[in-house]
Amino acid sequence: NLVKVDFKRDNYVWMSEKKNKKIIIFASGDGTNAEQIIKYFKKNKSINVQYILTNKYDAGVLERAKKHEIPAFFYNNEAFEKKIVFELLISVKPDLIVLAGFIRKIPDIIISKFPNKIINIHPALLPSHGGKGMYGNEVHKSVIKSNDSTTGITIHFVNSDYDKGKIILQKSIKVDSKDTPNSLSKRVQKLEHKYYPLVIEKLLNEQSR
């Protein structure tokens, strides 16, 4: 149900526990946001990416985790249903759970146990172009179809409804008349890579006050 992806440094988990603040990243895809977060905090003495969790056995994020020697787990739907993932989170006690291109709904039992400690990034200006099924290029197609003049990113807390948690930060860019879903994706992704690590750092620093 829950399979650890083994890396060279088996003792990495124990070494990383010396840091004060622990992040767990959930990702389903290629993992570019996850990698930016890993790189941003790699030399941070108090904040650490503890694990990468994915619900896809062939997700690109696993290779990125391996490259940076971050322990990673693949889990199937049964692991969620049997609360195996929940029990892992309880044992690790992360200070922040970060969704980075994660397309599965987070169970209410996890949300209630970690209030205001689960965040997501959405590639549009919520509440527009949000909800179930709105991820990746589907979002950018919707923006172009709607003839929106601006788009951007929304970083928000996660609640029991898709993309409806309290907004933490929004940043926008103009939509060009020549934009395609792919070109828009690339420009929006630059905002994601720049601002997601900064928001994570700010939230964790605020916890310490």
CA angle, residues 111, 135, 96, in degrees to nearest 5: 30
Segment 176-180 mean pLDDT = 95
pLDDT the model gives residue 1: 58
177 — pLDDT class (breaks 50, 70, 90): very high
**Amino acid occupying residue 160:** S
pLDDT the model gives residue 208: 75
Catalytic residue among 68, 122, 140, 193: 122
pLDDT tens for each residue of 47-95 = 999 999 999 989 999 999 999 999 999 998 888 888 899 999 999 999 9
**Amino acid occupying residue 64:** R
Segment 9-38 mean pLDDT = 77
Q: Encode 12-56 in three state secondary structure.
A: HHHHHCCCCEEEEEECCCCCHHHHHHHHHHCCCCCEEEEEEEECC
How far apart are alpha carbons 149 and 147 in whole angstroms? 6
pLDDT the model gives residue 207: 86
pLDDT the model gives residue 4: 60
Percentage of the residues of the chain whose pLDDT score is greater than 70: 90
Annotation says 122 is catalytic: yes
Contact between 48 and 22 (Cβ < 8 Å): yes
pLDDT tens for each residue of 115-163 = 999 999 999 999 999 998 999 999 999 999 999 999 999 999 999 999 9
What's the pTM value of the predicted model, to 2 decimals? 0.90
pLDDT at 16 over 50: no
Q: How many CB atoms lie within 10 A of CB 18?
A: 9
More confidently predicted of 80 and 170: 170
Segment 174-196 mean pLDDT = 97
Contact between 114 and 22 (Cβ < 8 Å): no
12 — pLDDT class (breaks 50, 70, 90): very low
